[in-house]
Amino acid sequence: MPPRFGPEFQDELTALLAWRRDVRHFRRDPLDEDTVAELMATAQLAPSVGNSQPWRFVRVRSAELRESLAAHADAEVVRAGEAMTDERRATYSSLKLHGMREAPEVIAVFCDDATPIGGGLGAATMPETRRFSVVLAIHTLWLAARAKGLGLGWVSVVKPDYIAGLLDVPQDWRLIALLCLGHPVEPDVVPELERRGWQARLDWRANVSER
Amino acid sequence: MPPRFGPEFQDELTALLAWRRDVRHFRRDPLDEDTVAELMATAQLAPSVGNSQPWRFVRVRSAELRESLAAHADAEVVRAGEAMTDERRATYSSLKLHGMREAPEVIAVFCDDATPIGGGLGAATMPETRRFSVVLAIHTLWLAARAKGLGLGWVSVVKPDYIAGLLDVPQDWRLIALLCLGHPVEPDVVPELERRGWQARLDWRANVSER
């Protein structure tokens, strides 16, 4: 029998979506293996084009590789700041953009652009939907983690080819995200970028039109 | 005070993720405007790179435009089938790949690749993260809809430029998805592509490795 999701669940789901955050401040205590496995299994429930399941999760366990990733992100964050206006740069420099040195789990997520799974269905005119499928799996993991009181941070100021080389993944794998996962220092309902004066959330009506 | 999501909610969330489907069979009864507005407002809670909120939802209300979209998708579905192996094509031809003629709501979702919102933060090395943000908003809408007993279908066998032209959107908007939204004919816990013998879900362990 299909489940019916009642009003209480719907309200709690909205609270989950509202309290999901992109977390950059992590406590260092480790996650237990069962929790990580459960989150990975849940991510596998994500939708994917043609049911191609092209997400490839690479857990970074080596301290050396983690430090290389963090140093690379630091350098790219500085470089990205150089292109900003002076006004923006002052705020930008004060932001913490990743927690890769503290989070107990660092996970690189790739898309296998060449997977035969799913027989190419749905991707003929928009092959980018394979990469979009990986994003859907990341969001699934993100929400499941938040429901357990955990935080996830998506680090994007990195060069995909550099990360792919460093982690020595197959040629057809494209980096989609570098994730930090762990206990957040402090949950908050307002995005950090809004609290720090970078960018507030807009009214949804601004993004909806009709034809 | 931050909410605590208990084990019951976590189980219900997993059920939601398991029962979310890519729906192609819709009843024709309309959605009320409050429901649509609530779903759009919930989608606005999605994460986005630099809080750039680059999603642009275009509700297709015109019957003529809807028919043009459906006819375009039909033609592209046939064309995509021509590239498949004979074995695959027999199953492929029997699949229903969109419900654009029945669903009460058809929504085209675009990414504003040129939005100044968010000041470019996080997108310096991976500008595709703006489009990924739109995918996150779509997934948020998807889950919120399913929690209300509604179904969403993502139609991807279309040409983005054709859709953008047909719907006359700004030059910098890129199509991410064409969505159908409405009451599903019949909820199911198994993906339609799996039930119809196209592609089953794999064990999650196949997609996880370590470095």
Q: What is the interface pTM, i.e. ipTM, of the complex?
A: 0.97
- Taking an 8 Å cut-off on Cβ atoms, the answer to whether A143 and B13 are in contact is yes
The owner of tokens 């729906």 is: B23
Domain count within chain B: 1
Q: Which amino acid is at A56?
A: R
The answer to whether A146 and A19 are in contact (CB under 8 A) is yes
- Taking an 8 Å cut-off on Cβ atoms, the answer to whether B198 and A41 are in contact is no
Q: What local confidence, expressed as pLDDT, does residue B85 receive? A: 87
Of B188, B197, B103, B200, the residue nearest B154 (C-alpha): B103
Residue B15 lies in a domain: no
Q: What local confidence, expressed as pLDDT, does residue A46 receive? A: 98
CA distances (Å), A96 to each of A22, A77, B38, B83, in order? 11, 10, 33, 48
- Taking an 8 Å cut-off on Cβ atoms, the answer to whether B51 and A12 are in contact is no
The owner of tokens 């279309």 is: B158
pLDDT tier for residue A1 given thresholds of 50, 70 and 90: confident
Residue A211 lies in a domain: no
pLDDT per residue as tens digits for the range B43-69 = 999 999 999 999 999 999 999 999 999
- Taking an 8 Å cut-off on Cβ atoms, the answer to whether A12 and B9 are in contact is yes
- Taking an 8 Å cut-off on Cβ atoms, the answer to whether B201 and A44 are in contact is yes
Cα distance between residue A29 and residue B55, in whole Å: 36
- Residues of chain A neighbouring B80 (CB-CB closer than 8 A): 120-121, 124-125
Please name the helix (run of DSSP H) or strand (run of DSSP E) that holds residue A78, with its range, or none: helix A63-82
The count of CB pairs under 8 A between chains A and B is: 288
Q: Once rounded to an integer, what is the mean pLDDT over residues A124-151?
A: 98
Cα distance between residue A130 and residue B101, in whole Å: 26
Q: What local confidence, expressed as pLDDT, does residue A17 receive? A: 98
Q: Which residue of A has its CA nearest to B2?
A: A187
- Residues of chain B neighbouring A50 (CB-CB closer than 8 A): 193, 198-199
**Ramachandran assignment for A192, one of left (phi > 0), alpha (psi -120 to 50 degrees), beta (any other):** alpha
- Taking an 8 Å cut-off on Cβ atoms, the answer to whether A40 and B2 are in contact is no
The two three-digit tokens of residue A138, written as one number: 């990341």
Q: Once rounded to an integer, what is the mean pLDDT over residues A33-39?
A: 97
Q: Which residue of B has its CA nearest to A174?
A: B126
Residue A206 lies in a domain: no
The two three-digit tokens of residue B42, written as one number: 């919930």
The two three-digit tokens of residue B208, written as one number: 């996880």
pLDDT tier for residue B143 given thresholds of 50, 70 and 90: very high
pLDDT per residue as tens digits for the range A167-199 = 999 999 999 999 999 999 998 999 999 999 999
Q: What local confidence, expressed as pLDDT, does residue B1 receive? A: 85
- Taking an 8 Å cut-off on Cβ atoms, the answer to whether A83 and B120 are in contact is yes
Q: What local confidence, expressed as pLDDT, does residue B166 receive? A: 98
- Taking an 8 Å cut-off on Cβ atoms, the answer to whether A144 and B17 are in contact is yes
CB-CB: which of B10, B19, B176 is closest to A3? B19
The answer to whether B142 and A140 are in contact (CB under 8 A) is no
Residue A166 lies in a domain: yes
Q: What local confidence, expressed as pLDDT, does residue A56 receive? A: 98
**Structural domain boundaries, residue B64:** 22-189
Per DSSP, the three-state class of A182 is strand
Q: Which amino acid is at A8?
A: E
User: Distance from B44 to chain A by nearest Cα, in Å?
Assistant: 6
For residue B112, give the CATH number of its domain: 3.40.109.10
pLDDT at residue A98 tops 90: yes
User: Distance from A25 to chain B by nearest Cα, in Å?
Assistant: 16
Q: Which residue of B has its CA nearest to A111?
A: B207
pLDDT at residue B106 tops 90: yes
- Taking an 8 Å cut-off on Cβ atoms, the answer to whether B160 and A88 are in contact is no
Interface test with A, best of B94, B110, B135, B168 (most A CBs within 10 A): B135
CB-CB: which of B57, B121, B125 is closest to A158? B125
Greater confidence (A83 vs A111) lies with A111
pLDDT at residue A136 tops 90: yes
The owner of tokens 């996970």 is: A107
Residue A148 lies in a domain: yes
The β-bridge partners of B110 are B56, B175
Residue B160 lies in a domain: yes
Q: Which residue of A has its CA nearest to B135?
A: A132
Interface test with A, best of B8, B126, B173, B179 (most A CBs within 10 A): B126
pLDDT tier for residue A87 given thresholds of 50, 70 and 90: confident
CA distances (Å), A60 to each of A44, A65, A103, B66, B204, in order? 19, 7, 11, 47, 17
Cα distance between residue B2 and residue B4, in whole Å: 7
Interface test with B, best of A156, A158, A173, A186 (most B CBs within 10 A): A156
Pairing outcome for strands B173-182 and A208-210: unpaired
Dihedral angle over CA of B147, A127, B122, A65, nearest 10: 100
Q: Write down the mean pLDDT value for chain A.
A: 96
pLDDT at residue A85 tops 90: no
- Classify residue B87 as exposed, middle or buried by CB count within 10 Å of its CB (0-12, 13-18, 19+): exposed
pLDDT at residue B183 tops 90: yes
The two three-digit tokens of residue B95, written as one number: 């699949």
DSSP string, chain B: ------HHHHHHHHHHHHH--B---B--PPPPHHHHHHHHHHHTTS--GGG---EEEEEE--HHHHHHHHHHHHHHHHHHHHTS-HHHHHHHHH-----TTT-SEEEEEEEETT--TTTTTT-SS-THHHHHHHHHHHHHHHHHHHHTT-EEEEE--S-HHHHHHHTT--TTEEEEEEEEEE-BSS--SS-HHHHTTS-PPPPGGGGEEE-
The two three-digit tokens of residue A26, written as one number: 């992590």
User: Distance from B90 to chain A by nearest Cα, in Å?
Assistant: 13
Give the angle A103-B138-B180 at the CA atoms, nearest 5°. 155
Residue B136 lies in a domain: yes
Q: Which amino acid is at B30?
A: P
CB-CB: which of B119, B135, B148 is closest to A198? B119
Residue A208 lies in a domain: no
The two three-digit tokens of residue A174, written as one number: 């494209």
DSSP letter, residue A191 = -
DSSP letter, residue A49 = G
